[in-house]
């Protein structure tokens, strides 16, 4: 139950004066909500800059390009001529030092006359600029009389906007929302408050939205930092609650005698690497301990995580229990199945797949076999957490690419069995600080080496001006029987400015097809799943030798015979993504080449990125460099910079708060794991405000 104290903040923004149905749609878009946003969503939409209205020069002393507040007398109006709606409405005003033009485009008839009556004195605030030798302010931000001036904020917050929503609408809504802010209890411990010099949350929100100093809205200052800490603390507390639930004594354990595992190891074409052996042993030890496993297995593309996951599932099968492997996309689920099937058959394990594609009788049959306990390991997508999926004895949940799944999905899968062990796979090596942020305090196994037989990849950067030579080289590779990926950043032409040089996949496919005919195929994310699979199958079989693709091939596509990759507009991709894409080649025993085609001139970050990717194949080093160059979002595969799932905390500024938030969460779990009493109630408020309350039902569970 949400604490009643918070109810005013969970009222819809449409309950505010001046926010109607039309605005509702715009606020949903701005605040990234599917439903009508609530006041709390609005209050956590923080300013991007400020306007300083304290400068009060005369017209003669106003500096063009700065925001000024002028005291003027309105002299005359020149409305738009009839039938010429594009011509502006101009108001001529003056003080005793000079003249100023106040210009309004597409003004409502009568609006400007009412706002600026001839002969009256008004205070006008906006950006000054010169036009034909006269000072001009286009669309002044504020126009007020003497009374209005007394109420006018000296410093005004400026917010990120969306088309159709004016800054004034946001400011008016924000002022009202702040009046509804209840007196919230303090959930941060006195030691942390003192150490970080944090204000109360009420003061932080007021000072960020109604700044008294220009620095009040800076992310590194104490007001924003307080809100960032709250957000991180809520995330860490939710993870700690989940972990405490998963760490409860688990009763019957899930590891067998190793008999089936040795069959799988014998059937594996190579010897396991040292880190694969180490990880498999650590997992088997976890499975036999009296508390549930919560382990993160991270390793690079092609480091052999699937095999380690299969050995974990096999250990569970030896004890007569079932496992589930959940992947974020169907293509990745099918990829796991392809690796697992031949090995599982050698050990006599029954494996099945369940995605959105399995329907009707086929799906019913899988569900019946699963419930009867006839399936040892089921591989699938979100389809695995639907209500009608029932296991006879689920003991191990393997979740792939965890940061794409929320805590909710992780819980939904573990709730389908008793004391289920959890193994999380990450194909993007994640720097240690980020592991703590997204996964909480998990045990970690890292696969550092590449399996035997893998060849290093020769990576070269080539300017786009030499594309003709690149195409000739590709022609020679195809003629000698090689298979080639050609990656493009876009599917088709877009209207966006500034990206004219980006080649879309469809266009590149057409030009390459003219040269190489039916040996070229095309695959992109807007195609149907079955069509994509058909093209991929033709490429895998060698019927197509040159595959033009968008980044859909980034995960899950395994064609060991492909030895060449061209990445067009390589400067547009993040390091992690370049590394993931490159990992599609070099999977067989032949030497491989990756060509990074870039558009000149390169900026500093792109130059650094291409340098790192040429120098190393080590995903862990690449992840650290990526964090340094791009910030956290890119390391974790989310496009916007910043922390996935976090709106306020900024990795480059609030990184040092992550560990403090984690320590605070662990202290709470030690002192007050059931969140009782006054502090417990305050912490529940925190979890609801930052939408981390899904972990609360766990407190009384188990």
Q: Residue 530 phi/psi, 5° resolution?
A: -70, -40
Q: How far apart are CA 525 and CA 329, in angstroms?
A: 12
Q: How far apart are CA 586 and CA 559, in angstroms?
A: 10
Q: How far apart are CA 297 and CA 442, in angstroms?
A: 10
Asked if 599 contacts 570 with a C-beta cutoff of 8 angstroms, the reply is no
Instruction: Answer with the one of 616, 651, 668 that is the final residue of a domain.
Output: 616
Report the pLDDT value the prediction gives residue 528, as an integer from 0 to 100.
Answer: 80
Q: Return the ∠ at Cα 497 (arms to 494 and 500), rounded to 5°.
A: 65
Helix (H) or strand (E) holding 151: helix 146-151
Burial of 11 per CB tally in 10 Å (0-12, 13-18, 19+): middle
Report the pLDDT value the prediction gives residue 405, as an integer from 0 to 100.
Answer: 55
Query: Domain check: are 463 and 440 in the same one?
Result: no
Question: Total domain count for the chain?
Answer: 3
Query: Domain check: are 544 and 467 in the same one?
Result: yes
The conformational region for residue 580 under phi > 0 = left, psi -120 to 50 = alpha, else beta, is alpha
Is 527 within a domain? yes
Q: Where are the beta strands (DSSP E) in 559-654?
A: 562-568, 592-598
> Using omega within 30 degrees of 0 as the cis cutoff, is the peptide bond preceding 416 cis?
no
CATH number, position 569:
3.40.50.300
Asked if 398 contacts 423 with a C-beta cutoff of 8 angstroms, the reply is yes
Is 245 within a domain? no
Residue ranges of the chain with pLDDT lower than 50?
495-499, 631-642, 701-702
Is 145 within a domain? yes
Query: Domain check: are 295 and 400 in the same one?
Result: yes
Q: What is the DSSP string of 629-688?
A: HH-HHHHTT-SSSS-TT-SS--HHHHHHHHHHHHHHHHHHHHH-TT--HHHHHHHHHHHH
Query: Domain check: are 267 and 414 in the same one?
Result: yes
The residues near 157 (Cβ < 8 Å, ≥ 6 apart) are: 47, 50, 171, 174, 208, 209, 210, 211, 217
Query: Domain check: are 294 and 443 in the same one?
Result: yes
The residues near 178 (Cβ < 8 Å, ≥ 6 apart) are: 43, 205, 206, 209, 210
Using one digit for the tens of pLDDT, what is the confidence trace for 83-117? 777 889 999 999 999 999 999 988 887 899 999 99
Query: Domain check: are 443 and 487 in the same one?
Result: no
Coil, helix or strand at residue 55: coil
H helix and E strand count, the chain = 24, 21
Is 697 within a domain? no
Range of the domain at 511: 457-616
Instruction: Answer with the one of 122, 152, 182 that is the final residue of a domain.
Output: 152
Query: Domain check: are 297 and 443 in the same one?
Result: yes
Query: Domain check: are 428 and 463 in the same one?
Result: no
Asked if 280 contacts 311 with a C-beta cutoff of 8 angstroms, the reply is yes
Instruction: Answer with the one of 86, 119, 152 that is the final residue of a domain.
Output: 152
DSSP state of 388: T
Query: Domain check: are 425 and 462 in the same one?
Result: no
Is 369 within a domain? yes
CATH number, position 78:
2.40.50.140
Report the pLDDT value the prediction gives residue 498, as an integer from 0 to 100.
Answer: 45
Is 372 within a domain? yes
Is 181 within a domain? no
Q: What is the DSSP string of 340-376?
A: HHHHHHHHT--EEEESTT--HHHHHHHHHHHHHT--S
CB environment 622-645: b (16+ within 10 A), e (fewer): bbbbbbebbbbbbbbbbeeebbbb
Using one digit for the tens of pLDDT, what is the confidence trace for 386-395? 999 999 999 9
Strand order in the sheet with 457-463: 457-463, 592-598, 562-568, 483-487, 546-549, 520-523
Spacing of C-alpha 660 from chain mean position: 23
Is 172 within a domain? no
Q: How far apart are CA 50 and CA 213, in angstroms?
A: 9
Query: Domain check: are 411 and 505 in the same one?
Result: no
Asked if 124 contacts 137 with a C-beta cutoff of 8 angstroms, the reply is yes
Query: Domain check: are 428 and 488 in the same one?
Result: no
pTM for the model:
0.63
Q: Kind of pairing, strands 377-380 and 322-326? A: parallel
Query: Domain check: are 118 and 146 in the same one?
Result: yes
Torsion angle of C-alpha atoms 308, 310, 316, 320, degrees rounded to 10: -160
DSSP state of 427: S
């Amino acid at each position: 139950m949400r604490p009643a104290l918070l109810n005013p903040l969970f009222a819809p923004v449409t309950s505010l004066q001046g926010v109607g149905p039309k605005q509702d749609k715009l606020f949903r878009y701005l605040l990234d909500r599917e439903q009508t946003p609530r006041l709390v969503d609005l209050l956590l939409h923080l300013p991007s800059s400020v306007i300083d209205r304290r400068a009060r020069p005369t017209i003669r002393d106003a500096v063009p390009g700065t925001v000024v507040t002028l005291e003027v007398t309105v002299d005359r109006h020149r409305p738009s001529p009839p039938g010429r709606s594009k011509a502006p409405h101009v108001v001529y005003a003056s003080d005793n030092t000079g003249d100023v033009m106040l210009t309004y485009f597409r003004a409502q008839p009568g609006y400007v006359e009412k706002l600026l009556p001839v002969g009256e004195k008004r205070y006008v605030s906006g950006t000054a600029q010169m036009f034909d030798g006269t000072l001009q302010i286009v669309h002044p931000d504020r126009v007020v009389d003497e009374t209005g001036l007394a109420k006018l904020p000296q410093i005004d917050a400026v917010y990120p906007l969306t088309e159709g929503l004016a800054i004034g609408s946001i400011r008016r809504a924000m002022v009202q929302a702040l009046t509804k802010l209840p007196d919230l209890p303090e959930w941060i411990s006195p030691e942390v408050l003192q150490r970080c010099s944090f204000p109360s949350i009420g003061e932080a929100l007021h000072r960020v939205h109604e700044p008294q100093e220009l620095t009040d809205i800076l992310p590194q200052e104490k007001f924003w930092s307080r809100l960032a800490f709250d957000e991180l603390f809520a995330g860490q507390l939710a993870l700690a609650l989940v972990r405490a639930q998963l760490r409860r004594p688990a009763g019957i354990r899930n590891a067998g005698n190793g008999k089936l595992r040795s069959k799988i190891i014998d059937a594996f074409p190579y010897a396991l690497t040292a880190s694969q052996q180490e990880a498999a042993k650590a997992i088997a030890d976890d499975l036999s301990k009296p508390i549930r496993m919560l382990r993160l297995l991270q390793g690079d593309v092609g480091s052999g995580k699937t095999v380690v996951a299969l050995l974990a599932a096999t250990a569970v099968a030896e004890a007569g229990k079932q496992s589930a492997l959940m992947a974020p996309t169907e293509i990745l689920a099918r990829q796991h199945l392809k690796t697992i099937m031949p090995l599982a058959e050698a050990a006599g394990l029954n494996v099945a797949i369940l995605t959105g594609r399995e329907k009707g009788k086929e799906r019913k049959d899988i569900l019946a076999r699963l419930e009867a306990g006839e399936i040892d390991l089921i591989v699938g997508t979100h389809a695995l957490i639907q209500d009608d999926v029932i296991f006879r004895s689920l003991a191990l949940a393997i979740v792939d690419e965890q940061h794409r799944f929320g805590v909710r999905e992780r819980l939904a899968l573990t709730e389908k069995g008793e004391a289920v062990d959890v193994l999380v796979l990450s194909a993007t090596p994640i720097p240690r600080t980020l592991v703590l942020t997204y996964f909480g305090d998990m045990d970690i196994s890292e696969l550092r080496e590449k399996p035997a037989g893998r060849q290093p990849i020769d990576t070269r950067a080539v300017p786009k001006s030499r594309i003709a030579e690149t195409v000739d080289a590709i022609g020679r590779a195809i003629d000698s029987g090689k298979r080639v990926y050609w990656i493009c950043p876009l599917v088709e032409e877009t209207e966006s400015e500034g990206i004219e040089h980006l080649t879309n996949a469809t266009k590149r496919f057409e030009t390459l097809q003219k040269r190489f005919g039916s040996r070229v195929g095309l695959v992109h994310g807007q195609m149907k799943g079955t069509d994509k699979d058909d093209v991929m199958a033709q490429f895998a079989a060698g019927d197509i030798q040159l595959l033009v693709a968008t980044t859909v091939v980034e995960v899950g596509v395994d064609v060991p015979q492909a030895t060449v990759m061209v990445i067009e507009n390589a400067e547009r991709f993040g390091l992690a993504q370049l590394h993931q894409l490159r990992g599609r080649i070099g999977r067989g025993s032949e030497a491989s080449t990756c060509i990074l085609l870039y558009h000149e001139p390169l900026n500093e970050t792109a130059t650094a990125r291409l340098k790192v990717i040429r120098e190393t194949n080590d995903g862990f080093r690449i992840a650290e460099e990526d964090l340094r160059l791009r910030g956290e979002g890119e390391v974790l595969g989310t496009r916007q910079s910043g922390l996935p799932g976090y709106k306020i905390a900024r990795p480059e500024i609030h990184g040092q708060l992550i560990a403090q938030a984690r320590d605070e969460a662990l202290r709470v779990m030690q002192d007050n794991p059931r969140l009782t009493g006054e502090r417990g109630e305050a912490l529940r408020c925190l979890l609801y405000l930052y939408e981390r309350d899904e972990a609360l039902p766990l407190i009384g569970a188990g």
